[in-house]
Structure 1
């Protein structure tokens, strides 16, 4: 008897490597905002391989750029001049808003955050890091050590001393009942108090919108208020833009710009969407921070000519077609539609988000208690209806995550919302 791909997967891959669905699907190809599985079933993709297929599946500009570059040379490493890497770095440095910016390319968001932590701790000569509660920053040993979401933190061991700050979750916790202004005041007071009990902190790392944490975010301006405190102590600000970058929030190109009174961050990390599926991550930092390392370093695969060609083509397409504006317009319609649906259903506690980045938090009806079983059931029902979405949340995975490619049309937004409504009502 021929074993299924799922059986073969379980036989050779780790038990902790998560798979969606009771009967996991194999995605074989995609086009635009749709993908197909091995049985030929078509799905509207509202998750983009975890916010990574940012513009569209099989985007002609990207596939052409990859093929043409692969036909010339696939790999050389950073030991040699790499024209596509320099060209993409120039564009990202300019877009970052960071003065005198330097860019270092990695192969993932985890590695980008790892590099940012190395830079911050070396620059400040301190291993103490401030992170946000409910946060997620990657899978490496150091990234796990600053992750404030226990569902994604398999060990308490860490090379860093991490202190966790309030503010990443607006509608839960001890400050949830406060107005936005009072919420910010309380979180700043918490930060001030925390710093009064320690010294020589290297950096605060924060996602402007917490991705794995369930698309939660503070009121606009919180990180600007934090920055005033950080500046007094000489503490660096790292903004983790792995999920919020490249215009996904609609209102801004970067998530940090919702807190723009603070000026640009000291360090910015990115990944996911820039490669539209190709493996690209990176760090942008002021020259004095980036150049603080006093030892040699290279990257074997970071800045690969093929991935850089993909990034250039993808970024060019995004800017030329104003996909940030599309995220604002279509995303705004989608979130309002989801809020209208949620208002009718007692299992929906909150619909939140910005642009094409929406979270639907599910609870047991009549309570404030998270319902991860309902989230899993809705995920299954949506797939059966032809829609792929994600899930996340704090310690309970009770938030449905909706993050389609930024080229989503109004008709596709309506179609996806209708499938999701049926799935929610069925559960």
Structure 2
């Protein structure tokens, strides 16, 4: 990697701090500006090249500067950029037809939004209107967006700046398999305990409950999940009460988990969800999200509603090209194959590390939980050190988890075997650097005492 002078980055960061909110988080002690990308690589303003294992928060789904997508966007930009939903859009109809068919939801209707947060807001509006109730079930450790409504159902306190909410949210177990009161149970026992918890919670609910919203794999929560089949077991309970199931596929959709096109399909024996939300990867970097729901649910609104930016000509043109590339090149299969290789490499690295508690996830959605050396205590300091060290080894990764101690690894789905090996080597080196720093710090503290 080229020598980093930091001058361009430091100057821009000073301007950033002067005009943008203090709570607008950036990565790294010395934040960087990414100026361009190609394939699975990006470059910063100092000319440094990185292997991208985070894809702009799981958003660059196929590749940076994918020719098919950039050509579709450029061609559409030369015709018309914007019309709104007050006018018919051929691209929006074609994309909705494809997504409705892929969703697995019968008699599906699709509404496009400009983000995953807005998609989840819309799903909650539909569910609460359809059920005439503002009571919502959510999983502990969950994250569904940064709007006032979606924060109200977020079960991760690190991302919830207010306790005020238009919803009454009831939180159930099941989002984290290897920590908490049920961690010692077998998968079958874990599922049974979570179902019993759900039944008990419903017995205490005051009247009608509108919906359960759940990420099949919790994204910001650190790529955690319950056992396969858990949400299906929940759905059998929900169906008895008429409660809707919303699956938040903002991060798990489009084949990223490898084994399934949607995360809900790991729980599919109880049938498809009532509502599905999506975003991020479908736009490959453009602002695109949406909701899929049964017609009965989608059509329950009786007030006027439009979307100024949802399903715009340029975002739907790009998304159509992106989805076609993903399907034509079996990127779900690539996520399964290359993701499996990457996970096995990370498992081997973890076995030799004193700060890795667990490698989890599936496909190209992998989490690495970090702890204090030789303990089971979550270590956000370790995650911060590895994040910085990975950058020094020309690798960009993400961070998450309730304690901020999990690494999030989610490269574009076109990742090659050679790039997976390269990334694993860089992460191994970063973990070794971080562990050495933590152990040195611990020694210094011991000497002080």
- The reply on whether 1:306 has 2:314 as its aligned counterpart is yes
> Any idea what SS the aligned residue of 1:316 has?
helix
User: Structure 2 residue aligned with 1:93, among 90, 100, 114?
Assistant: 100
Using the TM superposition, give the Cα deviation of residue 207 of structure 1 relative to its aligned residue in structure 2, in angstroms. 0.1
Partner residue of 1:402? Answer: 409
Partner residue of 1:204? Answer: 212
Summarize the alignment of residues 275-290 of structure 1 with structure 2, pairs less than 5 Å apart: 275-290=283-298
User: Structure 2 residue aligned with 1:247, among 255, 271, 278?
Assistant: 255
User: Structure 2 residue aligned with 1:65, among 61, 72, 87?
Assistant: 72
> Any idea what SS the aligned residue of 2:13 has?
helix
Partner residue of 2:269? Answer: 261
In the TM superposition, what whole-angstrom CA distance separates every residue of 1:13-55 from its partner, at most 9, and x where no partner exists? Answer: 0000000001100000000000000010000000000000000
In the TM superposition, what whole-angstrom CA distance separates every residue of 1:153-185 from its partner, at most 9, and x where no partner exists? Answer: 000000000000000000000000000000000
User: Structure 1 residue aligned with 2:59, among 29, 52, 56?
Assistant: 52
Runs of 4 or more, structure 1, over 3 Å off, are none
Mapped partners of 2:96, 2:392: distance in 1: 42
Mapped partners of 2:363, 2:170: distance in 1: 31
- The reply on whether 1:343 has 2:351 as its aligned counterpart is yes
> Any idea what SS the aligned residue of 1:72 has?
coil
User: Structure 2 residue aligned with 1:113, among 117, 120, 124?
Assistant: 120
Mapped partners of 2:246, 2:351: distance in 1: 36
Using the TM superposition, give the Cα deviation of residue 366 of structure 1 relative to its aligned residue in structure 2, in angstroms. 2.5
- The reply on whether 1:179 has 2:186 as its aligned counterpart is yes
Mapped partners of 2:398, 2:179: distance in 1: 21
Using the TM superposition, give the Cα deviation of residue 365 of structure 1 relative to its aligned residue in structure 2, in angstroms. 2.0
Partner residue of 1:214? Answer: 222
> Where do 5+ consecutive residues of structure 1 fail to align?
none
Mapped partners of 1:98, 1:50: distance in 2: 27
User: Structure 2 residue aligned with 1:414, among 409, 414, 421?
Assistant: 421
Mapped partners of 2:286, 2:270: distance in 1: 32
Mapped partners of 2:140, 2:228: distance in 1: 17
Partner residue of 2:444? Answer: none
Aligned length, in residue pairs: 426
RMSD of Structure 2 on Structure 1 (CA): 0.9
Mapped partners of 1:19, 1:223: distance in 2: 34
- The reply on whether 1:229 has 2:237 as its aligned counterpart is yes
Mapped partners of 1:336, 1:217: distance in 2: 19
User: TM-score w.r.t. structure 2 length?
Assistant: 0.94
Using the TM superposition, give the Cα deviation of residue 187 of structure 1 relative to its aligned residue in structure 2, in angstroms. 0.2
In the TM superposition, what whole-angstrom CA distance separates every residue of 1:50-74 from its partner, at most 9, and x where no partner exists? Answer: 0000000000000000000010000
- The reply on whether 1:141 has 2:148 as its aligned counterpart is yes
Mapped partners of 1:56, 1:136: distance in 2: 25
Partner residue of 1:75? Answer: 82
Using the TM superposition, give the Cα deviation of residue 418 of structure 1 relative to its aligned residue in structure 2, in angstroms. 0.0
Summarize the alignment of residues 334-373 of structure 1 with structure 2, pairs less than 5 Å apart: 334-373=342-381
User: TM-score w.r.t. structure 1 length?
Assistant: 0.99
Mapped partners of 1:368, 1:115: distance in 2: 39
> Where do 5+ consecutive residues of structure 2 fail to align?
1-6, 435-449
Mapped partners of 2:414, 2:306: distance in 1: 35
Using the TM superposition, give the Cα deviation of residue 80 of structure 1 relative to its aligned residue in structure 2, in angstroms. 0.3
